[in-house]
Structure 1
Amino acid sequence: MQFTLSSPAFSDGERIPSRYTCDGENVSPALEWSGAPSTTASYALIVYDPDAPRGTFIHWVIYDIPRGLNGLPEGVPRDPVVEGLGIQGVSDFGEIGYGGPCPPRGNRPHRYVFALHALDLESLGLGPGARAGEVLERIKGHVVGYAVLTGTYSR
Structure 2
Amino acid sequence: MKAMLLTALLISQTVFAADFSVRSTDIKADTPMSAKQEFNGFGCSGANLSPQLQWQNAPAGTKSFAITVFDPDAPTGSGWWHWNVVNIPASTTSVATGSVPKGALETRTDYGAAGFGGACPPAGDPAHRYIHTIWALDIEQLPLDAQTSGALVGYMLNQHKLGTAQLIATYQRKK
- Equivalent pairs counted in the alignment come to 150
Instruction: Give the alignment of 1:64-75 within 5 angstroms.
Output: 64-75=87-98
- Alpha-carbon distance between aligned partners in 2 of 1:133 and 1:52, rounded to the nearest angstrom: 15
- Alpha-carbon distance between aligned partners in 1 of 2:82 and 2:48, rounded to the nearest angstrom: 11
**Structure 1: runs of 5 or more not aligned:** 77-81
Q: For the structure 1 residues 99 and 144, does the alpha-carbon distance in structure 2 shift closer, same or farther, using more than 3 Å as the test?
A: same
The answer for the alignment partner of 2:172 in structure 1 is 154
Across the aligned residues of Structure 1 and Structure 2, the Cα RMSD in angstroms comes to 1.4
Q: Cα offset for 1:150?
A: 0.6
After the TM superposition, which parts of structure 1 deviate over 3 Å for at least 4 consecutive aligned residues? Answer: none
- Alpha-carbon distance between aligned partners in 1 of 2:159 and 2:101, rounded to the nearest angstrom: 27
Deviations 1:69-124 (A, max 9, x none): 11111112xxxxx6615001000000110000001112110000011110010001
Larger radius of gyration: 2
The answer for the alignment partner of 2:28 in structure 1 is 11
The answer for the alignment partner of 1:79 in structure 2 is none
Q: Cα offset for 1:133?
A: 1.6
Q: Cα offset for 1:140?
A: 3.5
The answer for the alignment partner of 2:81 in structure 1 is 58
Normalising by structure 2, report the TM-score.
0.81
Greater RCO, 1 or 2 (C-alpha within 8 Å, sep 6+): 1
**Structure 2: runs of 5 or more not aligned:** 1-17, 40-44
Q: Cα offset for 1:16?
A: 0.7
Give the SS at the match of 2:112: coil
